[in-house]
Amino acid sequence: MSFSPASERGTSSAPVSGARGHGAAVEFRHVTKRYGAGADAVAVVDNLSLVVGAGELCVLVGPSGCGKTTTLRMVNRLVEPTEGQVLIDGRDVATEDATALRRRIGYVIQQTGLFPHQTVAQNVATVPRLLGWPAARITERVDELLALVGLDPGRVRQRYPAELSGGERQRVGVARAMAAEPVVLLMDEPFGAVDPIVRERLQDELQRLHRTLGTTIIFVTHDVDEAIKLGDRVAVFQVGGRLAQYAPPAELLARPASKFVARFVGSDRALKLLTLLTVADAPLRDASTVPGDTPDAPLVALDRTTTLNDALSAILGSAVGAAVVVDEAGRQQGILTLDAIGTALRAATGDSHAAPVGAVCEPLSEAGGRLPRDAPGDAPNPASPTVGSKP
């Protein structure tokens, strides 16, 4: 089971390059979806324009009813837009036969949608079978895929979905979606129904898969932590199907474009941003300027790939208020202090005119009461109140 610390991605939004390039770019061009007719028509997605780069993992996140699932389903034409176009590698999906289109797009849903009457192997073989692959190639591909998603082919191949755990079923769902090497993978709250521990492991494995295969992934969730962890870029939707912000996770946390986004990512967004930064992002002090190791107050040792969130936790828990950073051989690289973490955080927010990332509290008038409804005209909020900001 591979584990990938967030630091491997760091704050960079650029997909890792390499022997990949299998993914396709997806573009939404002024897409609107209305249900109902005439004056009663309700827009579920409202004039959405968004580009997902080839090989990117784009997360659509927002409260329920914000149109993120509808947006996803317009890519494989399970929903047809009322206005506008969805393009895959520049080609309008409406011009393609819906069935053929869907066979080259992977589709994973929360309830898995596995066929209960088919074995795991038959389930995974679904799209290759529809595409008419020769039997030998299908068999080979099925085993390859099961191994890819961390299942033992020999053990699960002939099982029925009902005989698997929730996490295993979700893995089979992912294997099935990847079977015919789709150019785009659509995932609709795929990990929403599994317990938190399994969810975290599935997220780690999805990141690994994404890095290995380079498939473009559009991932819907209502969980902002999941969005921040997984997304190369995150599209925050608000009710009415409007795009509130589309940015890499670090930027979303550092510079939320509106009060709505700021509230949605959470008042602890500074702490969340720390999960995207690593010790390597912070300035280290010379080891000689800080009280050294003593048997009474040992310094906690960290390495440069530790997230600043974990580092903060370690420092707060130590008696010294600092931690020592060591390299792989255990040699001291320097000392990490609380101030250095603050400096790294401010550097990550970049623009000094933007809302200080220390402004973790809502204005007093709002913080005390219930969260107000999201005003439709929730304007960008460069002059965010600074209650509670650090000196």
Partner 1 sequence: MTPGEPLISWDWIFSHLGDIGQRVGEHLVLTGLAVAIGLLLSVGPAIWIARHPRYYGPVLGFAGVLYTIPSLALFAVLVPITGLSLLTAVIGLVSYTLLFLIRNIVEGLTGVPADVRDAALGMGYTSRQLLWQVELPLALPAIVAGLRIATVSTIGLTTVTALIGQGGLGYFILDGLQRFFSTPLIVGAVLSVALAVVADGALVLVQRWAMPWARGSA
Q: Which residues are near partner 1 by CB under 8 A?
A: 76, 78, 99-103, 107, 109-118, 126-127, 130, 160, 162, 173, 176-177, 186
Nearest approach in angstroms of CB 160 to partner 1 is 4
Return the half-sphere exposure (C-beta side, CA atoms, 13 A cut-off) of residue 78: 14
Least distance to partner 1, CB of residue 123, Å: 10
Give the shortest CB-126-to-partner 1 separation in angstroms. Answer: 6
Least separation, in Å, of the C-beta of 188 and partner 1?
Answer: 9
d(CA 374, CA 26): 29
Contact 31, 71 (CB under 8 A): yes
**Residue 147 one-letter amino acid:** A
Q: Which residues pair with 302 in a beta bridge?
A: 325
C-alpha span between 246 and 47 (Å, rounded):
14
Question: Which C-beta is closer to partner 1: that of 20 or that of 159?
Answer: 159
Residue whose CB is less far from partner 1, 180 or 261: 180
Kindly tell me which of 75 and 243 has the beta carbon lying closer to partner 1: 75
Q: Which is nearer to partner 1, 113 or 388 (CB)?
A: 113
Of 276, 286, 273, 282, which is closest to residue 333 (Cα–Cα)? 286
Nearer to partner 1, 66 or 186 (CB): 186
366 three-class SS: helix
- CB-CB contact of 166 with 139 (8 Å): no
172 or 202: whose CB is closer to partner 1? 172
Among 276, 256, 254, 333, which residue's Cα sits nearest to residue 299? 333
Minimum distance from residue 184 beta carbon to partner 1 (Å): 12
Strand partners, 390: none
Q: In angstroms, give the least distance from the CB of 5 to partner 1.
A: 33
Q: What is residue 304's DSSP assignment?
A: T
Q: How many residues does the chain have?
A: 391
CB 341 within 8 A of CB 282: yes
Q: Which is nearer to partner 1, 135 or 364 (CB)?
A: 135
Task: Extract the tokens encoding 65.
Answer: 């009813």
Q: Smallest gap, in angstroms, from Cβ of residue 73 to partner 1?
A: 8
